[in-house]
Structure formats: structure tokens, C-alpha cells
Amino acid sequence: MVEVSKETPFSISRRELLCRSGMGFGSLALQHLLGEAGPAGLKAAEQSGEAQRAALGGNPLLPRLPHFAATAKRVIHIFANGGPSHVDTFDPKPAIATYAGQPMPGETPRTERKTGALFPSPFKFRRYGESGLEVSELFRHTARHADDLCVIRSMYADVPNHEPSLLLMNTGEARLVRPSMGSWLTYGLGTDNQNLPAFVAMCSGGYPIQESQNWQAGFLPGIYQGTYIDTKHETIDKLIENVRNERVSLADQRRQLDLLQNLNRLHQAQRSEDPQLEARIQSYELAYRMQMEAAEVFDVSRESQHVLDAYGPGVQARQLLIARRLLEHGVRYVQVWHGQGQPWDNHDDIEVQHRKLAGQCDRAIAALLDDLKQRGMLEETLVIWGGEFGRTPTVELPKEGSNQGRINGRDHNHWGFTMWLAGGGVRGGYAHGATDEFGFKAIENRVHVHDLHATLLKLLGFDHEKFTYRWAGRDFRLTDVHGRVVPELIA
């Protein structure tokens, strides 16, 4: 049995081959090449490739290299679920004010509900940084980093409904069961810290709409599913299942583990050729270490007071700080949701509600960017901010049973919206594309969600057309049969 570890020169050719094999196939030949005999059970997996490799070493999360050198190595996706209004945040449209109260010229595009006249933004915009990027007062702290932001003002999706749009943004498919982007990336890259989950999804107080499907592994092995953390809790045992044992001390547990491993070694002695036994032995050692490391990483009280002050109070601040600590410790993908349900979905009272929501996260986002920069992490950390779609520049009309009829909110808008990226090799201080003069539809350099995915994968070292997984007779991709890389977004 050839022991393949990170240190052996052998692993270089292994990695190269994995890269060349496009992650998805050719690994059967690869196993021969490496002299690795797979345990028989692995043939049970429908697909060749990763699942087999997963079964092989017993640890499907060992770090791996992507197709080519990447600028981004890890991701934090700040998900403003519900749909933040772009015309109130990152896409200023003075024409709305000019024509305030009047219907949009031409036909108003169809959205989920009926909307009426143009409804000016109650928020003030100004220019920030050397780039002069325009941002509204809602994100004035974040805007300090204007020169690092790559604002995509020409995003569009397919339909004006939360459910399909959330799935599209997270999995590239609006209805069917497909792996989320975080699952794809942990499948492709593994993770740098075996003592922590590779992919973490944080949401306080419960799930967003579509629930854990947003971080599902789909047809990938279940281990690539995001680990959900309810950040409403503050103690480690409530944050990660079974991570702490209140009944025995660590020292006593080590003793118990030693007994277990000694018994395992005796059992293994007569079966030394079988790698799966060793894999299970090692997984217990990892589990033991995870208890300490996870407890440490999730404990934000270990941060200095000035860091805590910079992030500010509240759940948003705490989960962004946890996110930074996780990334720092080698977690591959962190998704931070604004909260249970669809907080940014302001069909009514958008001025009050958006001000409140932005107030909960703006400062912490700015602090996160500062923090990443100071630690030299921003260059390799891809920060993504946005919702599943944006909101209409026109006011939502009252409809019984669906809004409070206050005529001061906006409807969903998939025709055009804004997301921003930072770090990880994106082009900072740049606004890409444009919506029409009122901000309804993306018209210039339009970027579909599939295009965004293709570009993100590129930043992470993958050719989105070659990053595949064979399942049910097909080689699947995050971008399915769509997507094109948007080179302008890359520095």
C-alpha cells in the first residue's frame, strides 16, 4: 500500500493528474497509477471520480489543487436574503427622483406583484474613494472600501420569486436538486483544516427560505453539504453537534480514546492491508482535536476589545467575526445569512426597514474588510455580497394578503440588480455594467447568475466547463450548460 501524504513527492503527480483529469473522471486509471486499491464498496457509488477517491482515503476533504493557479482560495458569501434594493444601495438612479410619482415610460416589466409609479430612493448617495464609486448612506461604512469593491450593477436572474432565485443563486438551478456552490468548491478543493467543517452556513434564529437546500450537497456525497450553524446561540456545544462532552474531562476522554485505539490496533494487526481501518482510526483522532479547535474558533470572546468594538454589537457582527476566524483557520467556504426567513424583503416601509437592516451589518462588513486586509487575507479571500435579486424602482401597490398596503415599499426585481465582490483577485473600485435609467432592467454588460458563477469559479481556479461530476448518466456542472466568465471583473 502506497501511503500518499502531502509530503511525498508522489503527491505532486497525483495532484497534477487530478487537475488534468478535470476532477470528474479518469480517476480509475489514476488509482491504478498510484497503486491504490479501492475498497470494494466504492464501486457502489454511481459516479467515478471524487466519491471513489473519497471512499479511498476515507477522508474526502483533504486539500486539493484546482485546474489552474487561483487568486482566491476561500470564500465568504454575505447573503442579504430577501432581496436588497439596488437603487437604494449601490446603483444610484437620479432619474427616479426626476420622474417621481409618474409611471415609468413604456411598459413596466412584470414582477411578482403589481407596482405603480416611480418611487425615489429616500437615501443619499455620494462618491467614495479614488474610484469615486457611488454608494448610498446605508452602506457608508462599507463604502470606505470603495476602491476594493467590484460592484456588478447589471446582474439579472430568471424569475421574480424567492424560492427559485435563492436556489439559482446558490446552486445554479432554480428547482431541481443540485449541489450548492460551497459544496462544489469543497468537493473540488477539499479544506485546509480537518478539525473544522469545510463549508459553514450561518443563519441566526432558523433557516432562510428554501432552508438547508441553499447549502445542499445535492448529488455530491453528503459530507460536502454545508454545516448549518444557528448563530443565535453563543456557546460552542449549541453551535456544533456533539462537539463537547460535559460528562468527562478531556484527559479522561484521551484515556478512553487510547484504549479504543489500542483495541483497534490489535484488530488492525491482522488486517494491515486494509486502508479503511486506518482511516476510521484517524477519524477519531481528528474528532478529538476538533473538540478543542472548534471551541476555540467559534469563541469570539478571544478577540481583542478593539476588534470587537470595530465589528460592533449584534448577531451580524458576531457571525461575521466568527466567519473571519473560520476562514483564518482554513475553512473553505462560509456563508453568512442576514437571518431567518427573508429579512431584506421590504414590500412595505422600505425606508425604515432597509435602514434598520443595513444598520445591523454595514459596520461589521466594513470591519471585516479592514480585518481581512490587516491580516493579509483579503488578497486570497473572495468576499461576495448580495441577495437573490433586487427590488423595483417603482412602488409596490397594495394587495390584500400580500403587503400592508402602505405604498412605501418595493417589489422583487430579477430584471436587474446589484452584487459586489471584493478581494480574491477581483477588480476593485470598479462598477460593471448598468441598468436602465430607472434601474429596472440590466441593459449594459449584463451578468446572469450563471455568468457570476463561471467567474467565481475562475477566480477559484476552475474552468467552469470542465469542473464536472458524473451523475445519472451526465457530467454535471455548477453552470449546467450556461455561463461565461466576465473578464472585466477580474483584476
Partner 1 sequence: MWLLLLLGHTAVAQESRNAEEQYFTQRVLPILHEHCYECHSHASGEASGNLMVDSLAALTSGGTRGAAIDPTHLEASLLLKAIEYSDTELQMPPTEQLEVTQIEILRQWIVQGAFMPAELHGDATANPSVEQGRQSAAQSHWAYQLPKKWVGDNAHLTQSLDNPIDAIVTSRLTVDGLTLSPPATRLVLLRRLSYDLTGLPPSLELSQEFLDDPRDDRSATEGVIDRLLASPSFGERWARMWMDVARYADNKGYVFQEDREYPGAHLYRSWLIDAFNQDLPYDQFVTKQLAADLLIGHSDDTAGSNSTDAIADLPALGFLTLGRRFLNNKHDIIDDRLDVVARGLMGMTLGCARCHDHKYDPVTQADYYAMFGVFLNTDEPGGEPWPHRMVDSDERRDSFILIRGSPGNRGAQVPRRFVSLLAPEEKPFTGGSGRLELAAHIASPQNPLTARVMANRIWLQLTGSSLVESPSDFGLRSAEPKQLALLDHLASAFIDNDWSVKHLIRTIVTSQVYQQSSWHRADAYAVDPENFLYWKMNRRRLDFEAFRDTLLVRAGELDQTMHGKSEAITTAPFLRRRTVYAYIDRQNLPQLFRTFDLASPDTHSPGRAQTSVPQQGLYMLNSDFVDELSRQLASRAEAACAQPSEQLSWMFQQVQCRLPTERELELMTDFLNPSAERANTASSSSLLVQLAGALLAANELAYID
The single-letter DSSP state of residue 103 is: P
- Residue 60 beta carbon to partner 1: minimum distance, rounded to whole angstroms: 6
Q: Is 263 in the site for partner 1 (CB under 8 A)?
A: yes
> Cβ(189)–Cβ(457) under 8 Å?
no
Q: Which is nearer to partner 1, 271 or 356 (CB)?
A: 271
Enumerate residues 21-80 that contact partner 1 by CB under 8 A. 21-22, 25-26, 29-30, 32-33, 35, 37-48, 51, 54-55, 58-61
**Which residue among 68, 100, 211, 356 contacts partner 1 (CB under 8 A)?**
211
**Which residue among 11, 131, 268, 340 contacts partner 1 (CB under 8 A)?**
268
**Which residue among 11, 131, 212, 340 contacts partner 1 (CB under 8 A)?**
212
Size of the site for partner 1 (CB under 8 A): 101
Q: Is 221 in the site for partner 1 (CB under 8 A)?
A: yes
For residue 379, how many C-alpha atoms fall within 13 Å in the half-sphere facing its CB? Answer: 3
**Which residue among 110, 255, 399, 406 contacts partner 1 (CB under 8 A)?**
255
Enumerate residues 132-171 that contact partner 1 by CB under 8 A. 163-164
The single-letter DSSP state of residue 464 is: T
- Residue 307 beta carbon to partner 1: minimum distance, rounded to whole angstroms: 29
Which ranges of 312-379 does DSSP label H, i.e. alpha helix? 315-328, 350-374
Q: Is 248 in the site for partner 1 (CB under 8 A)?
A: yes
Enumerate residues 13-32 that contact partner 1 by CB under 8 A. 17, 20-22, 25-26, 29-30, 32
Cα–Cα distances in Å, from 45 out to 56, 279, 290, 472?
12, 18, 28, 11
Give φ, ψ of 57 to 5 degrees.
-80, -10
**Which residue among 3, 106, 242, 487 contacts partner 1 (CB under 8 A)?**
242
Q: Is 271 in the site for partner 1 (CB under 8 A)?
A: yes
For residue 67, how many C-alpha atoms fall within 13 Å in the half-sphere facing its CB? Answer: 17
- Residue 231 beta carbon to partner 1: minimum distance, rounded to whole angstroms: 16
Amino acid at 309: D
How many angstroms separate the CA atoms of 71 and 491, rounded? 10
**Which residue among 12, 97, 287, 352 contacts partner 1 (CB under 8 A)?**
287
> Cβ(436)–Cβ(466) under 8 Å?
no
Q: How many residues does the chain have?
A: 491
Q: Is 249 in the site for partner 1 (CB under 8 A)?
A: yes
| Strands in 32-177 per DSSP E | 74-79, 115-118, 125-128, 133-136, 149-156
Q: Is 286 in the site for partner 1 (CB under 8 A)?
A: yes
User: What does the per-residue mask of binding to partner 1 show for 165-204, with x meaning CB under 8 A?
Assistant: ----------xxx----------------xx-x-------
Which residues does 218 contact at the CB level (< 8 Å), separation at least 6? 171, 177, 178, 179, 180, 183
Rg for the chain, CA atoms, rounded: 24
Q: Say how many C-beta atoms besides its own lie within 10 A of residue 332's C-beta.
A: 26
Enumerate residues 458-477 that contact partner 1 by CB under 8 A. 465-466, 472-475
Enumerate residues 97-136 that contact partner 1 by CB under 8 A. none
